[in-house]
Structure 1
Amino acid sequence: MKKTIKEQKSVLIILLSNIFIAFLGIGLIIPVMPSFMNIMHLSGKTMGYLVAIFAVAQLLMSPLAGRWVDRYGRKKIIIIGLFLFGVSELIFGLGTNVSVLYLSRILGGFSAAFIMPGVTAYVADITSVRERPKAMGYISAAISTGFIIGPGIGGFIAEYGIRMPFYFAAAIAFLACILSIFILKEPLTKEQLAEISANTKQTNFISDLKRSLSPLYFIAFMIVFVLAFGLSAYETVFSLFSDHKFGFAPKDIAVIITISSIFGVIVQVFLFGKMVDKLGEKKIIQLCLVIGSILAAASTLISSFLAVLVVTSFIFLAFDLLRPALTTFLSKAAGKEQGFVAGMNSTYTSLGNIVGPTIGGILFDVNIHYPYLFAAVIMVIGFGITVMWKEKQLVESLAK
């Protein structure tokens, strides 16, 4: 019988810290991106490409990382991911031209492809089906907490130099890597890993992708794609939009993101498990898509700081609840193939993160309102997809 969450608190803390650190690094740079954009004379399109290239790298590596999680173990993949993340942040901080920034973002994408499925599969291994929604909620809360502390720390550290936040992110990533080496233990035995690996060793990226395209898989993974698409299109231009339209300083942007993230974390930690029990994953996903689309469109009409703060808080909350609801459902249905499903989850997330920022950045150069309207339309399409989603059929398919 698996131990309860309380009985393995130290392991969960390390796992959550690893996810937290990865997203702290992302959060650190959000307030300084408009300044970075102005100093290096980058267009909205280039900023979109820098986000998209991260996702391209994550996309290419995710299927491999998903299989390696099942073959070589969760711990090794997590450690490699943290090391790569530290290197990528260090390179970005040292970069003085766009080509170096692209190299950094590619390594960052590789690191995300390792960390996310590694941690998700590890948590799924050590938690019972009953406690898994709570654990996945904690993962999402750790992601949001990275955004909470990240912008605030980033805005403060940037006072000592615009590149300092990147060096700080690199330092804590290397620290997390070292701690994980000594504290984490592989949750599966060599025999269990060998059994899972033997069942999936004939697969490759193409076969994994084809498998994910079967009608029952495809609906769920398309929702993953739409979520990432809409979220990345919105988030990529948020700081640029706030800077260009309202003249918000890095400090103002940090305050909005921090308060929004705190709100999201409180709801996730204290209410997400109860919401899943009462509504189920599908209804939560549908509700969040509807709310997100309405508020994304409303973002183009507001002007005051308070209005931006309120609307942004609820948009981020919708996205924060969408992520664990979908991840929980997929992890429940995945059985022993946590690596494959987590890898495909990451793959479709990457696809959305490629297209969303690219189009968002291009649209931003045309009209600063268009990326938000575009994100709203995509979320409406996502809602339409969920109407076709049959949970029982998908669970049965994944359980085979």
Structure 2
Amino acid sequence: MKKMGRLYILMLNIFIAMLGFGLIVPVMPSYIEAFGATGKTLGFLVAATGLTQFALSPIAGALTDRFGRRKLIIAGIAGFTIAQFIFAFADQLWMLFVSRFLGGAAGALLMPAMFAYIADITSEKDRGKGMGLFSAAMTLGFVIGPGVGGYLVEYGIAFPFLIAGSFAALSTLLSILFLPETLTKEKQEEARLNKDIHFNPFVQMIEALRTSYGFLFILAFVLNFGIIHFESIFGLYVDQKHGFSPKDIAFVITVAGLAGVLVQGALVNACVKRFGEMRVVRYALLGAAFMLIACRFAPSFWLIFTGSILFLSATSFVRPALNTLLSKMAGNQQGVAGGLNTSFMSLANIVGPSLAGILFDVNIEYPFMFGTLVLGVSFAASIVWGKKVQHASAAS
């Protein structure tokens, strides 16, 4: 199969995975009610996936450099298939937790392996396009997941997960049939002989920050932190401050998310080719900071709607541009870099909502103000880091 065909299979894999993660949003209250659980249980179930993905992603990244991309991709999408079916047929609460933990482990296997696979099949010139299309598929799955779940749940609370599991099974079969290995046996053996890579995720993350591209992991954390910080509190914020209905909130988030998909699919590659990855990342962070504070002061529905679209559009430039730059700097450690990138993003998915909720309880404006501060400081730090990289390149 040609390279674009393989990229489309990867896009299908990540779309289905993110769709499955999004399905749980409208369905979970029904499950909690059916099992007689509490809101605290709901919180633990949501966090379960992020915790396993955070812990296992660096390990999976090291494994994909040692044993190839194909095995981990197939194992990941197959694991996700099983997780969806477990959730669908669960008749005890512990089975829901098993499903969520397994789903997080599957995501940990998938993300670094697919990140590395894209780097393997694209040239540096076209890598921005590949990362952009991949990120667009990821965003699209996450955006439409809650809507699909809300529609399918009318046929039974298990039905959305049966559908997601069936599509994941199909994607597993396509991966087995049409995804060849891209990492040579020689490079796998070379990675296995490298004793400098640790399987301890915490050791890996600390050492990653000391590399020449360690700052990119901080930006990956900041990006996901900013997005999840915004999305986790947005509905409650506009409900209390502006009286938005659930339909209003769903409309704003869905359209803004689709705008992000359009940006990643159509604009990122052209911008990266013209301005370079770091400039795109830098000014997208600045634009996101301005739009976040604009949402805080927006007095009407349509101004908040516009600000939200521009905020998520700005952040949509960052992920593919950042991934492209990271893949170029990672050299032969594509899997390790991809795994660490996923871990830092997963950590943000845990910290972002928790901190947003704490700040919201103090003052409903604080999450937006703090998010703006974090993005603004990251913009300034990216300028300093960029100058250091330029000086280091000139010196060498």
Equivalent residue for 1:333, pick from 308, 313, 329: 329
Over residues 103-153 of structure 1, what are the superposed CA-to-partner deviations in whole Å (9 max), with x where a residue is unaligned?
433222212111111111011111111111111111111112213432432
Which residue number in structure 2 is paired with residue 219 of structure 1? 215
The aligned runs of 1:299-318 (5 Å cut-off) are 299-302=295-298, 304-318=300-314
Partner of 2:164: 169
Name the counterpart of 1:8.
3
**Match of residue 245 from structure 2:** 248
Q: What is the Cα deviation at residue 219 of structure 1?
A: 1.9
Is 1:194 paired with 2:192?
A: no
Structure 2 counterpart SS, 1:130: coil
- Output the CA distance in 1 between the equivalents of 2:229 and 2:374: 10
Q: Distance in 1 between matches of 2:37 and 2:244?
A: 18
Tell me: CA distance 1:230–1:50, structure 2 relative to 1, closer, same or farther (3 Å): farther
Q: Is 2:74 the partner of 1:71?
A: no
1:122 partner letter: Y
Q: Is the 8 A contact 1:219 1:388 kept in 2?
A: no
Shift of the 351–182 alpha-carbon distance from structure 1 to 2, 3 Å rule, reads same
User: In the alignment, which residue of structure 1 is the partner of 2:205?
Assistant: 209
Counterpart selection for 1:105 from 100, 103, 109: 100
Give how far 1:305 is off: 4.2
Deviations 1:325-360 (A, max 9, x none): 110000011121101111111121122222112222
Q: In the alignment, does 2:127 pair up with 1:132?
A: yes
Stretch of structure 1 that moved more, 209-218 or 281-290: 209-218
Q: Matches of 1:375 and 1:57 in 2, distance apart?
A: 26
- Percent of aligned positions with the same letter in both sequences? 41
Secondary structure in structure 2 of the residue aligned to 1:388: helix
Paired with 2:91 and 2:293, the residues of 1 have a C-alpha distance of 36
- Given residue 373 of structure 1, which amino acid in structure 2 is its aligned partner? M
TM-score (norm: length of structure 1): 0.85
Partner of 1:261: 257
Distance of aligned partners of 1:163 and 1:253 in 2 relative to their CA distance in 1, 3 Å threshold: farther
Q: Is the 8 A contact 2:213 2:329 kept in 1?
A: no
1:167 CA displacement: 3.3
Instruction: Note the alpha carbon deviations across 1:363-391, whole angstroms, 9 max, x for none.
Output: 44555544333322322232232132137
Cα pair 1:140 1:268 within 8 Å, conserved: yes
1:23 is aligned, of 9, 18, 42, to 18
Question: Residues 49 and 390 from structure 1, CA distance in 2 versus in 1: closer, same or farther, beyond 3 angstroms?
Answer: farther
1:121 aligns with: 116
1:383 paired to 2:379: yes
Q: What is the aligned counterpart of 1:322 among 308, 318, 324?
A: 318
The structure-2 alpha-carbon separation of the partners of 1:129 and 1:105, relative to structure 1 and needing over 3 Å to count, comes to same
Structure 2 Cα separation of the partners of residues 342 and 156 of structure 1: 34
Deviation larger for 253-262 or 307-316? 253-262
Q: Is the 8 A contact 1:51 1:236 kept in 2?
A: no
Shift of the 392–175 alpha-carbon distance from structure 1 to 2, 3 Å rule, reads farther
Q: Which residue of 2 aligns with 1:182?
A: 177
User: Residue in 2 aligned with 1:353?
Assistant: 349
Residue 3 (structure 1) aligns with: none
**Aligned partner letter, 2:310:** F
Report the alpha carbon displacement of residue 99 of structure 1 after superposing the two structures with TM: 5.7
Count of residue correspondences: 391
Q: Map 1:17-96 onto structure 2 (within 5 A).
A: 17-31=12-26, 43=39, 50-93=45-88
Unaligned 5+ segments in structure 1 are: 1-5
Let me know the Cα RMSD of the aligned residues: 3.2
**2:279 is matched with which residue?**
283
Instruction: Check 1:49–1:292 CA distance in 2 against 1; reply closer, same or farther (3 A cut).
Output: farther
Contact 1:331 1:341 in 2 (8 A): yes
Cα distance in 1 for residues equivalent to 2:158 and 2:309: 28
Letter in 2 for 1:321: F
Deviations along 1:2-58, one digit per CA (max 9) or x if unpaired, are xxxx94222111111111111122333445567778987855x77665444422211
Q: Helix, strand or coil: the match of 1:187?
A: coil
Alpha-carbon distance in 2 for matches of 1:311, 1:99: 41
Q: 1:202 to 1:325 in 2, by over 3 A?
A: closer
Alpha-carbon separation, structure 1, partners of 2:157 and 2:234: 19
- For residue 213 of structure 1, what is the amino acid of its counterpart? L
Partners of 1:147 and 1:258 within 8 A in 2: no
Contact 1:66 1:344 in 2 (8 A): yes
CA distance in 2, matches of 1:62, 1:12: 21
Question: Given residue 237 of structure 1, which amino acid in structure 2 is its aligned partner?
Answer: I
What is the TM-score when the length of structure 2 is the normalising length? 0.86
Cα distance change on mapping 1:268 and 1:360 into 2, 3 Å: same
